[in-house]
Amino acid sequence: MKIFLDTADVAEIREYAASGLVDGVTTNPSLAAKTGRDYVESLKEICEVVPGAVSAEVLATDYDGMMKEAAVFTKIAKNIAVKVPLTWDGLKACAALSKQGTMVNVTLCFSPVQAMMAAKAGASFISPFIGRVDDIGEDGMGLIHDIRAIYDNYDFKTEILAASVRHVMHVRESALAGADVATIPTSVFKALLNHPLTDKGLAAFMADAKKGGVVIKG
C-alpha cells in the first residue's frame, strides 16, 4: 500500500520524504490555510520534493471554475493530481481532465455507489473519508471493503485512497481491506513504527552489548 502525507507543510514533507517511505502528498484548502503561504507556490515546492502524485484541490464548485483552476494546477508539475469534489460538476470535470491525461483525485466520498460513479468518470483516485464515516456511527472500513469489491468486480483502475485516517489502526485496517493508498497526517506517519516491544528489545540489545564490551571496529 502506498503512503501519502496529508499536509501542505513543505518543511514537514521534506523531513519525512527523506525517509524514502513517502509515495505522495494530498493537500486541501484547509491544510493550505494553516501554512499561511501561497497555495500554488507551496505546491510547486512539494512537487519538487515528492516524485509521486501530489493532490491539489480546487476551490471552485462549478465546472467552468474547476477547469480554470485545474489549468493553473497542471502547469505546476507532471505529478499534480487535480482534486475535485464528488458532485455532478466535479465528476464532469473529472471526465474532461482524465481524457486530457490529467490525474484526478475525487474527494469527499461516503458511499460505494459514489465511488463507482467516480471510477466511471475516469478518476485516478477515489478518497473515501473513513474517519468521518465512523463519526456518524457508520462503518468507515466497511466502506473500503465495499469499494474494493465493486472495483474488482468490474476491473476499475481507480486507486482507493483511504482518507480521514485518524490512527495507526486505520492504516492497518486499510491495508488489510485492500486500499491502494492511505493518506495520513504526519502525527500518524510518525507513529507507524512505534511498538513497546521494539523499544524494549533495542534497549536490551544495547545493554547487553555495553555489559559485554562489544564494539564494532572499522
Instruction: Outline where DSSP puts E strands in 110-210.
Output: 125-128, 159-162, 181-184
Which grid coordinates belong to 144? Answer: 473500503
Rounded CA separation 184/210 (Å): 38
For this structure, is 120 an active site residue?
no
Cα separations in angstroms, 114 against 30, 34, 134, 173, 214: 23, 29, 17, 21, 60
Cα separations in angstroms, 38 against 41, 59, 71: 5, 14, 17
- 160: β partners: 126
Active-site residue, selected from the candidate residues 83, 120, 210, 217: 83
Q: Are 81 and 105 in contact (CB under 8 A)?
A: yes
Active site residues: 83
